[in-house]
Amino acid sequence: MAHGAEDVRGLAFLINGNMSVGASGQGGLMVRVDPDETDALVAKPHARPFEMRGREMRGWLRVDSEGVRTKRQLDPWVRRGVAYARSLPPRDRAPHGARGELIPKEVGARP
């Protein structure tokens, strides 16, 4: 398995085919954000840049489990991810029935 590939196993929530947030199989949360806000957001407690195969992915954050234990901690991250995903154009291959609603999708599931 390539370095970082385990980070994409979990449950993702899509809006118009765009991922907004994802519950990591390793714990914590992946959050889609405006790439221009990445540097400011990683200064928040428990947040860090998301890395895939050793490469930082601007516009994606990883929030450690300690930072999303309560609804009060989780809610702002989910709202931020949902708001950014809603601002993006719909993806060509949106899941059947996706019309702006939050659609859960398993990510990295094995066949």
Give which of 22, 23, 24, 32 is closest to 7, Cα–Cα: 24
- Is the pLDDT at 46 greater than 80? The verdict is yes
CATH architecture for the domain at 5-93? Alpha-Beta Complex (3.90)
pLDDT tens by residue, 67-111? 999 999 999 999 999 999 999 999 876 455 444 455 555 555 444
pLDDT grade for 53, boundaries at 50, 70 and 90: confident
Amino acid in position 14: L
Mean pLDDT (the chain, rounded): 82
Q: Where are the domains of the chain?
A: 5-93
Provide the pLDDT for residue 105: 59
58 vs 64: CA distance, rounded Å: 17
pTM: 0.74
